[in-house]
Structure 1
């Protein structure tokens, strides 16, 4: 952990409906549903879009002076807003910027937290870099990527992160190494560990100019092999990477996992539940349950520590949660049973459906699914 900077005091004054802090407007009573992929939830009492890191300090000073809570919002693709909104300050991170440094066969890239994740991936593909190519099409911002330790198709962002720069509760800026970030499956010290009160300002990656494309996941491997048979002519590394990105995007689009205003199934947070990680004892109980139900187990993924990951989607399907299932004005995606979608409903209805789905899996298999997105407390 490296200490970098100490912030200075900010002074404020107010107008009728917009509060101006050194020319940075804080808005009042702003609906939050447009800022999330679910398009659900009420309004924020106060709202600040931060274009610079200094703006973040301004927002924190305002929250402290008002004696109100604050919440950091990125792309809104992993956040559930309550129907009654948020009675504090929403600090939306909209900072942009990239710095690069050549290191032999690698490129060190520092990215501001507010940059679109997929735009960043697309840029690295165009540079012929590998390390995050399987993470194409994931919504959200770069700053959210280490918090959730986003992953897909055999890659996790933590494998390429060198460090994370974050603002601490003491208003000092720290740089945390990959080891200090406490990465695990869809988790980090920023999400549920010692750094929950830290605000990610920038993320520092190390990507490769020479390492091959990551083709580990069976679905990707089969689709990639089929594509290569269709075009036996050898392509350049850059052409291969661009084609591979298009393949990943097509796989995600087939499941409505790429944001598309014309596709109602994308009014979701993507995968709503994480894949359960089972201890050896839990796995043994589950295998016994499979025998009782006369079910063949799905593909299981074991890690080096003896734990096993099982598909949440498979558990849902086997528990009777079908694609297209409806509950009031929410439901299950018609393309992927792991995605709960908004069909003009409310957050309350979504949470009711969540519990219905969870209880069906728990009743049949004895496994309680964990919600992946964060529910904001009003």
Structure 2
């Protein structure tokens, strides 16, 4: 295994920004992962593990260490009672994997169709959309411990899943390189029809008992109309998708938000539980003055939905961060709600500006 030098990272990330990696290697087996980690340890080099590149912003200076591109493949399934257990390599592209599970008439991932990235990234972020989260069906996560270079197995409980995060993102802090993920899906079960967009889609078509396949197609159609499916002719392709996490607020905060909006405006929301309500970040962003299609130099807001920051060509990571900070400030000033970025920021030097952007409770 011989890493390459000075590999342009912008080409490996959907946002299309970032400088070079000092070293870069593609890992296709668990042994490749262990060997790459050992190689970096021998040189005291820092390591970043890269998946599909759809949820990362690379620094303009690049990454002064070894980037390991995870490319472990393979999908297998086996029955377990009324469920089907799917095991997928961390390097498997996510949406084609979802298509395989739907083709097998299995429910559990259909509303996560069209999301970019790879299988290995889904437990890290606890990827979710339209009423589903992977935490609801992940049974085990296989990983390599970067400290010991030994394989490690995580149960669902050990992943410590929370809204859009997990132990791999919080406590682990990059300690584990995910190599394979197992999902338990319900065979021949109805799809999840809970989120307003999905409910309205089928109500408008008079469909009362849609199949899992129909739910997948509905999700893809909705995401396409929002410019959230990566396609060759999509002008909003150079992005991280949803740049900001939809914030969770208390019912009291939601009531205040609705009261301030007035009776003529219905604040869109999704009830998470008896205490918390989810507000669409896109609604807050537009309300704060950042409309769809607006531009700020080489970056801007997607013409399809306000939650995505787009690189129109020639943008830098600094451009992306500047716009993201302006959006966060505007939403905070308008609604007293702090929205936080979803992507991971790699290669950046610590700064007060970046810390403020990432802070879920920043000081005004």
What TM-score do the two structures reach when normalised by structure 1?
Answer: 0.87
Residue 349 (1) aligns with residue 349 (2): no
Q: Which runs of 5+ in 2 are unaligned?
A: 349-364
Deviation for aligned residue 1:286 = 4.2
Deviation for aligned residue 1:219 = 1.2
Matches within 5 A, 1:274-293: 274-279=245-250, 282-283=253-254, 286=257, 289-290=260-261
Q: 1:225 to 1:308 in 2, by over 3 A?
A: closer
Partner of 1:369: 339
- Asked if the contact 2:64–2:347 (Cα under 8 Å) also holds between the matched residues in 1, the reply is no
- Asked if the contact 2:257–2:267 (Cα under 8 Å) also holds between the matched residues in 1, the reply is no
Partner of 1:201: 179
Deviation for aligned residue 1:217 = 1.1
Residue 65 (1) aligns with residue 35 (2): no
- Asked if the contact 1:51–1:96 (Cα under 8 Å) also holds between the matched residues in 2, the reply is yes
Q: 1:242 to 1:211 in 2, by over 3 A?
A: closer
Deviation for aligned residue 1:305 = 5.7
- Asked if the contact 1:289–1:365 (Cα under 8 Å) also holds between the matched residues in 2, the reply is no
Match of 2:168 among 184, 190, 196: 190
- Asked if the contact 1:153–1:217 (Cα under 8 Å) also holds between the matched residues in 2, the reply is yes
Partner of 1:222: 200
- Asked if the contact 2:34–2:144 (Cα under 8 Å) also holds between the matched residues in 1, the reply is no
Structure label with greater radius of gyration? 1
Determine the C-alpha separation between the residues in 1 that align with 2:264 and 2:65.
49
Partner of 2:244: 273
Residue 257 (1) aligns with residue 257 (2): no
Partner of 1:175: 153
Determine the C-alpha separation between the residues in 2 that align with 1:285 and 1:377.
39
Matches within 5 A, 1:44-55: 44-55=21-32
- Asked if the contact 2:243–2:342 (Cα under 8 Å) also holds between the matched residues in 1, the reply is yes
- Superimposed CA distance per residue, residues 214-248 of structure 1 (whole angstroms, 9 cap, x where no aligned partner): 1111111121233355xx9x9xx8xx333332221
- Asked if the contact 1:298–1:311 (Cα under 8 Å) also holds between the matched residues in 2, the reply is no
- Asked if the contact 1:255–1:335 (Cα under 8 Å) also holds between the matched residues in 2, the reply is yes
What TM-score do the two structures reach when normalised by structure 2?
Answer: 0.90
Partner of 1:317: 286
Matches within 5 A, 1:50-129: 50-129=27-106
- Asked if the contact 1:38–1:341 (Cα under 8 Å) also holds between the matched residues in 2, the reply is yes
Q: Secondary structure at the match of 2:291?
A: coil
- Asked if the contact 1:59–1:91 (Cα under 8 Å) also holds between the matched residues in 2, the reply is yes
When structure 1 is superposed on structure 2, of 242-251 and 67-76 the one drifting more is 242-251
- Superimposed CA distance per residue, residues 105-162 of structure 1 (whole angstroms, 9 cap, x where no aligned partner): 1111111111111111011111111110011111000000000111111111110101
Aligned residues: 346
- Asked if the contact 2:223–2:229 (Cα under 8 Å) also holds between the matched residues in 1, the reply is yes
